[in-house]
Amino acid sequence: MPVSVTIDHVEKYFGSFHALQDVNIQIQPGELFFLLGPSGCGKTTLLRCIAGFHAPESGRILMGDEDITNLPPYKRDTGMMFQSYALWPHMTLEQNVAFGLEMRKVPRAEIRERVRVALDHVHLADRAKSRPNQLSGGQQQRVALARALVIDPKCLLLDEPLSNLDAKLRLEMRQEIRRICKQQELTAIYVTHDQKEALSIADRLAVMKSGVVQQVGSPAEVYRNPVNRFVAGFIGECNFLEGAVESRGDAGAKIKTPYGTFVTTRCADTLSPGTFVTLGIRPESVRFDTPPAEGANVLAGTAQETVYLGEVAQRVIRLSSSEKNVEPFQLKASELNPLVAGTPGETVRVWVAPDQVMVLQ
Judged by the rule CB under 6 A, the positions of this chain that interact with ligand ATP are 14, 17, 19, 37, 39-45, 193
Closer residue to ligand ATP (CB): 209 or 229: 209
Closest to ligand ATP by CB, 42 vs 100, is 42
Residue type, 282: R
The nearest distance, CB 138 to ligand ATP, in angstroms, is: 22
Q: Supply the minimum distance, in Å, between the C-beta of residue 44 and ligand ATP.
A: 3
Measured CA to CA, the distance from residue 291 to residue 356 in angstroms comes to 14
Our CB check for ligand ATP shows the closer of 159 and 176 to be: 159
Min separation Cβ 241 and ligand ATP, Å: 29
Dihedral of the alpha carbons of 72, 77, 83, 85, in degrees to the nearest 10? 110
Question: Minimum distance from CB of 330 to ligand ATP (Å)?
Answer: 28
Phi-psi region of 156 (alpha: psi -120 to 50; beta: other; left: phi over 0): beta
Compare residues 39 and 270 and give the one whose CB is closer to ligand ATP: 39
**Nearest approach, Cβ of residue 355 and ligand ATP (Å):** 34
Dist CA 73 CA 355 (whole Å): 48
Q: Give the shortest CB-57-to-ligand ATP separation in angstroms.
A: 13
Q: Min. distance of Cβ 78 from ligand ATP in angstroms?
A: 17
With vertex at residue 352, the alpha carbon angle to CA 350 and CA 358, rounded to the nearest 5 degrees, is 140
Residue number with CB closer to ligand ATP (19 or 298): 19
Q: Based on CB atoms, which residue is closest to ligand ATP, 19 or 277?
A: 19
Residues 78 and 63: their CA atoms lie apart, in Å, by 10
Nearer to ligand ATP, 43 or 174 (CB): 43
Distances (CA, A) of 162 to 87, 137, 170, 305: 15, 10, 6, 33
